[in-house]
Structures are given as C-alpha cells and as structure tokens.
Amino acid sequence: MSLTTLFLIALGVSADAFAVALGKGLTTRRLRPGYAVALALTFGLFQAGMPVLGWLLGIGLRDYVTEVDHWIAFVLLGLIGVNMIREALSDDEDEEGDDGRIPLRELLVLGVATSIDALAVGITLAFVDVSIVGAAALIGVVTFALSLVGVYLGHRAGARFRGPAEVVGGLILIGIGTKILLDHLGVL
C-alpha cells in the first residue's frame, strides 16, 4: 500500500476526531493550550492504537478469509464512510458550553468513540501489504495535528466545518475501499 493511500486513510479516519475537536473548540468559552494538546494527544494515541488492535484481530483471521479480503476491506471502509456521512448530515448536535477543562473520563470516552473507525481500518490493513507500525504512527500523527487545528478552528470559526469534514472523510474511506476492491478484481 502506498504512502499516499495510507495518508488518505489517516485523513479519513481522523475526520471524526477533527469534527469532535471542532465541536469541543466551539463550546469552550476559554480555550487553554493544555486543553487543546490533551484532546489532540488523546485522539492521536487512540487513533494510533486502534489500528494495531484491529490489525492483530485481522491477522488472526487472515488465513480464513484470503479469498474475500478485498470484499471485507470494501465493505468495512464503505460502511465506515457511509456512517460518517450519515452522522455529518444528522441534526444531532451537542450544544453545551464548558470552561476549558476536560475530565480524564471524558477524554477517554471521546478517544474510544472517535477511534472505532480506526479499529475497523486496522482489520482491513491486515489483508494488505503494509507496515502496521508505520501506518499506525502516520494515523496517530495526522489525527493529533488535525485535532489540534480543529480545537483552535472550532474556537475561532464555529461549527460550520464539522459536517463537511465528516462528509469528506467518509467519501475518502469509501473511495479507498472501492480502490482496494477494484485493484483485487483487476479493474485498476
């Protein structure tokens, strides 16, 4: 798998974290640098760890599913992408304001919630030729950077980017899943 494809996957799975960071930045009355770094670091670490966990699960299943691995990648990435787009287009919003502090429990819940997609991507990565350590590191770094930017953008600009970020992230994942399928079928 090429570095460009891995980077696009990293952008795709980090879209949820970016969107949540935007929302947290929007609802934070007084943005402290430590708050932004803690949120971005949590998202980055969870996004880096979950693909490794998914990859380990996928490696255990690889011998049983090699004939259909490209379909699994296509379906998982497609479902994740469609779900991200669906969430972006829903009207459910969290409108509470806060004072710039974030409890550890909330950080952990947000970290898990925004990285479930990365777990499924990790399962997919078990079926393609990729260094999971490099992929996980890239996903973590991209997520950290986008989340940090997201908190500040949200605090300054508002929530108008949340929906479009999730839609773009979803479309990227659907596109990558389609490319994997078409590559294995010999179309590309």
Domain ranges of the chain: 3-184
Q: Using an 8 Å Cβ cutoff, are 24 and 97 in contact?
A: no
Q: Is 28 helix (H, G, I), strand (E, B) or coil?
A: strand
pLDDT, tens digit, 9 for 90 and up, residues 113-161: 888 888 888 988 988 889 999 999 999 999 999 999 998 888 776 545 6
Cα distance between residue 9 and residue 20, in whole Å: 18
Cα distance between residue 66 and residue 106, in whole Å: 39
Q: Using an 8 Å Cβ cutoff, are 25 and 7 in contact?
A: no
Q: Kindly report whether the global pTM for this prediction surpasses the value 0.85.
A: no
Cα distance between residue 164 and residue 172, in whole Å: 12
pLDDT, tens digit, 9 for 90 and up, residues 62-89: 777 767 767 877 887 788 778 778 877 8
